[in-house]
Structure 1
Amino acid sequence: MNRTIMQFFEWYLPSDGGHWNFLKEHSKELSEVGINTLWLPPAYKGGGGINDTGYGVYDLYDLGEFDQKGAVRTKYGTKDQYIEAIADAHKNKIEIIADIVLNQKGGADDTQWVKVVKVAPSNRNNKISGEYDIKAWTKFNFVGRNNKYSDFKWSWEHFNGVDWDENKKESAIFEFTGLSKGWDSDVDSENGNYDYLMLTDVDVSSTVVCEELLKWGLWYTEIANLDGFRLDAVKHIDYEFFNKWINDIRKVTKKEMFTVGEYWSADLNVLKKYVEDTNHAFNIFDVPLHYNFFSSAKEKENYDLRGLMSNTLISCYPENSVTFVNNHDTQPGQSLESFVDNSFSLLAYTFILTRQEGIPCVFFGDYYGIPNNNIAPLKDHLDKLLKARKDFAYGWQHDYFDDAHLVGWTRENGLAALISNGENGGCIKMFVGEKLSGKTFVDITGNIPGEIKIAEDGNGDFTVNGNSHSVWCIV
């Protein structure tokens, strides 16, 4: 069975607490079209309460159970609704991977005086002040939870830095200096040292922090019956932390715990090094491939489709690659905006859903649409591609990347796919296997009418329209 992921959220979902119920209502039909893994958004209470998408983590143990930050529920619903939705997905043979954010915390309950130095935003190794005291929001007491599940209280010594001094009402990047603190070293080198991303930066070099995060991870896995994780912002966390953390979770639970990390970089060498440094412990999103899709959408017929796989993670470590077209960070209005619009997105989805390299991830916003961005849903089109993946995308793959504006590939289980960014489209003779000689293929997308019969030598003449995609499957 081909693993097929859906990122089951987009940034602008309404803050009405209905998302877990929406999942429960739709898991059966998602399973039927071939989605067998769902990446759910951060489920715990954020500092912004019901308007927090979950990335401004307040209390990891509050899954919508306690009256904290103005409400019991989160943006997506209550803990009971979350657990019920996961159980229903499991009944429909869908695995659940949870989005976890361990790099930062937000919405602290109180301030503390902390010794710091101010650092340059463009080079965090460059100290631009002497040591002095600031009033930092670093105290997390979780009074509403009242020690249920854990009595651990976060304090300044569990963090490396903040971006706000309550005393002077000043915004800057402040590096903590007490207890011989400093930025973690094995992180991305952007901005000199990219340990600090936002809010209150968690110190994963602290033994007590690591112990608490492992305890929480085991608790979360058990209480929600999780099947894996999506790790947020791994470039900002010492690579040894997640390498050890996920292996410890697997060892204790004796589960596979399928995991994918978000290392946002278009530099293939950086991603390769991370995969190697973490001993291939988990998968990584293929960000360079996303940018190739984005360039294709912008440049249209000026883009050479033969270069789609150039400098991508699937070109060197396909077994560690999760491929995607869009996500919540690339959609319009977000910090990493690079949205692959509908002029090319179906061609890109044809690529990731029918080829053998990588594990594809379908974006909720592409599938169901994004009303806030006036993005129309592609559900009907994507369902056809998902069916092609579920039923036919197996067996040996043969590539036909000989034309700048027309490329194709086949799978010997009865599939031939083509995409074209040229005005006229075209035809490619492609091999699907001698065992399929005499068999009939139709374009499952409906873009090309009629049938194609496979010759005795296992070849067929497959066609595609201009600026379009076609996926021919055996009848």
Structure 2
Amino acid sequence: MFTIYLNRFTRRLGTLKWLKPFFLVLLFNGTVDSMAQKDVMLQAFYWDVPVDTEMKNGFWWDNLTSKAQELKNMGITAIWVPSPAKGNWGITDMGYGIYDHFDLGDYDQKGSVETRFGSRSELEIMIAGMQDTTNHQAPIEVYADIILNHIYGSDENAEANPAVKQYVFDEAFRNGSQFTPYPSNEITWVLPNARAGDYFIKIKGYCLNFDTAADNRGYDLQIDYQNSGFNEIFSWEKEPNNGDGQFNAFPASGASIRAFMDNKSDVDEFKVTAPGDQNIIIKLTSREQSNGDWNWGDQTKGYYPVEIWHNGVNLTVSILEAHTNTSLTFPVHTGPSEQNWKWNYSHFHPVDHNDWLGNWGNGDEIISNTKGYGNDLNTFSEEVQQRMNTWGVWLVERMKFDGFRLDFVRGFQESYAADWINSLPPKNSQQRFIVGEYWGSAQSIQDWVHTLDAHGARASAFDFPLKSVLTELCNKGEDFDMRQLNHAGLVRNNEGLHILSSAVVTFLENHDTGKEHDKWVTKDWHLGYAYILTHEGRPCLFYPHLYGVQLQDNQNSAHHVAIPPSLQKELLDLLFIRSTYLDGALTVLSQVGRPYPAEEASDVYVARRKAMRPSKGPSSLSTTATQQKDSGWMRPRMDGPPGRVRNWSMP
């Protein structure tokens, strides 16, 4: 047996003397067999990994290649790497702005050949190095981050989108229900080849909250009617301007007007005089005014040109076009099995007069029609499903990825994820490792795992509930109640929301939480890792924790936290313990036993886990931690012959 002891403080001579939390393990001597848990994975990146933007050179794959042997020696069995496909922002894209699925850093587009992480050849070298088994070394599996929910585009990908135009003019009201507007700022309204003369453009708002001050219903109106492009010059709307014969003359082509929707019946009208044979281009952006600042607004507050009059004719029905960045074309792909697809508006929500966009929901449920990132793929389309399945097969057969992490699985229906998983070629006659990012409650995560299982697909899930508890354990110090660990997370949940440990990936930090300071672990990282590296579930280490990389808030660089260099040694000790000794079920002794005094259960956590059977010596060995009264506090007593106990405590 193997006992885990976590304690916060001890008492000396009737006064409290606070000590750093420490972790105590009890081991036995002897050789063990090879069935201990060799399952530790590493998230081998973090947000905004370094890149040479000036030379357009990514070197992250090279960095990982240089660490392959070291990671093997540490006992890492798998790494999770960022999305390898070319992103919409080229050399700076972290991979989540996915653009071209078959460009892994070998086609010149979006301003660079390489991705932020390097070239395709460097990626292939890295994968081969991790998987190398020469000289009987253990391989490291490589899991790619996969985005199945969306594809990004930019202005160069603009096209006329009749489905979005109709959706906006329906004001997102479909089949008797109000849905979420298409983001106002992601539509460019175009009157192609406008004739010379005066145009009266009426702007309307919809899905706005008119119970609040007008400051919350602001918008920018930009109009280019002389092929001038847009500039930073702005002026304010002037009243009266109610769209009923009253209007503001637009100041100049390319400028903008700042305005408000005062009430439900408000329609603002603006006049431009076009020179002829030029497109009239209209952009609308939701804004909010606060303390005199003109701030970015919720873009699902809808604004659109409800009418455009020229020579007595309303042009919105027959001529006006709604352009979206949904026409995605790429250089000719020349590699084996690389597809030369083109994407257009028909592949993204809303696709027709029956389709709609949802919001972020009332909790953390599946939100398959929600346009949260880029162009939201219509994952109900057979063509979209087949394309994504084909891509997954290519990543396995051509790029040799061992498994995958699925990004934002809340964003699409479970059957779509299951079909994608089931389409992958097996590995050693088994389904490949899959873990989904469901950032939500234990109930929703369990539902997702079980639903995929019902569709014949096995997938693990990240333990976000446990992450929350472990962050408090590390950050709160003496204010943390250790009893919260008794049933923390998905594996030990006792409220009917348990998930098998084989389907749970535990972690302390990841690239998303690592870029937002309010989610960080800021001290005592070893406590969180002591938990996940000795408990059930598959632990995932975070690259900055293993290599001492300072975390910095992505929105405010003033927030940062340094990772102590000593943490790596502590992690290596824990890795050795897990890979050498641990296996089997776990019992929390401080819960089922009788701490004395009883109220001190909030200050100590003791768990016992089955250890591996020695290949020599007795067929079983029980090493226990007992408690005895000592000045009103608990003290561990280690039973066993000399040499069979190792006391490993944090400095």
1:182 matched to which residue of 2?
Answer: 356
Q: Helix, strand or coil: the match of 2:589?
A: strand
Q: Deviations over 1:50-84 (max 9, x none)?
A: 11000000111111111111111111111111111
What 5-or-longer segments of structure 1 have no aligned partner?
A: 161-175, 419-423, 448-475
Q: Helix, strand or coil: the match of 1:394?
A: strand
Aligned match for 2:465, one of 288, 294, 297? 288
CA distance in 2, matches of 1:124, 1:369: 49
1:270 matched to which residue of 2?
Answer: 444
Aligned-pair CA distance for 1:389: 1.1
Aligned-pair CA distance for 1:183: 4.4
Match status 1:361 vs 2:408: no
Structure 1 residues 309 and 53: alpha-carbon distance in aligned structure 2, compared to 1, 3 A threshold: farther
Aligned match for 1:325, one of 473, 498, 508? 508
Q: Deviations over 1:388-416 (max 9, x none)?
A: 11112224534223421211223342788
Structure 1 residues 185 and 324: alpha-carbon distance in aligned structure 2, compared to 1, 3 A threshold: same
1:19 matched to which residue of 2?
Answer: 60
For these two proteins, the number of residue pairs brought into alignment is 416
In the TM superposition, 1:86-101 aligns within 5 A as: 86-91=127-132, 92-101=138-147
1:427 matched to which residue of 2?
Answer: 635
Structure 1 residues 327 and 186: alpha-carbon distance in aligned structure 2, compared to 1, 3 A threshold: closer
Structure 1 residues 286 and 417: alpha-carbon distance in aligned structure 2, compared to 1, 3 A threshold: farther
CA distance in 1, matches of 2:325, 2:611: 58
In the TM superposition, 1:30-429 aligns within 5 A as: 30-91=71-132, 92-108=138-154, 109-114=156-161, 115-116=163-164, 117=167, 125-126=179-180, 128=207, 134-143=322-331, 145=333, 149-160=338-349, 176=350, 178=352, 180-183=354-357, 190=364, 193=367, 195-250=370-425, 254-265=429-440, 267-279=441-453, 281-310=458-487, 312-315=489-492, 316-317=498-499, 318-333=501-516, 337-343=518-524, 345-355=525-535, 357-371=536-550, 372=552, 373-376=560-563, 377=565, 378-402=567-591, 403-413=601-611, 427-429=635-637
Larger gyration radius, structure 1 or structure 2: 2
2:190 matched to which residue of 1?
Answer: none
Q: 2:602 is aligned with what amino acid? A: A
CA distance in 2, matches of 1:87, 1:425: 54
CA distance in 2, matches of 1:412, 1:55: 41
Counterpart contact for 1:260–1:282, Cα < 8 Å: yes
Q: 2:43 is aligned with what amino acid? A: Q
Q: Helix, strand or coil: the match of 2:122?
A: helix
Q: 2:62 is aligned with what amino acid? A: N
Counterpart contact for 1:384–1:445, Cα < 8 Å: no
Counterpart contact for 1:306–1:407, Cα < 8 Å: yes
Counterpart contact for 2:513–2:519, Cα < 8 Å: yes
Q: 1:386 is aligned with what amino acid? A: L
Q: Percent identity?
A: 28
What 5-or-longer segments of structure 2 have no aligned partner?
A: 1-36, 53-57, 133-137, 182-206, 208-301, 307-315, 493-497, 553-559, 592-600, 613-622, 627-631
Q: Deviations over 1:367-399 (max 9, x none)?
A: 113334342243222111111111122245342
TM-score, structure 2 length as denominator? 0.59
User: Considering only aligned residues, what root-mean-square deviation do their CA atoms show, in Å?
Assistant: 3.2
Write 1 or 2 for the structure with the bigger share of helix. 1
Q: Which structure has the higher relative contact order (CA within 8 Å, separation 6+)? A: 2
Q: Deviations over 1:98-129 (max 9, x none)?
A: 10112111134421222333589xx9835536
Q: Which moved more, 1:319-328 or 1:15-24?
A: 15-24
Q: 1:367 is aligned with what amino acid? A: L
Structure 1 residues 86 and 191: alpha-carbon distance in aligned structure 2, compared to 1, 3 A threshold: closer
Counterpart contact for 1:262–1:284, Cα < 8 Å: yes
Structure 1 residues 232 and 298: alpha-carbon distance in aligned structure 2, compared to 1, 3 A threshold: same
Structure 1 residues 302 and 310: alpha-carbon distance in aligned structure 2, compared to 1, 3 A threshold: same
Match status 1:6 vs 2:36: no
Counterpart contact for 1:410–1:430, Cα < 8 Å: no
Q: 2:562 is aligned with what amino acid? A: I
Counterpart contact for 2:393–2:425, Cα < 8 Å: no
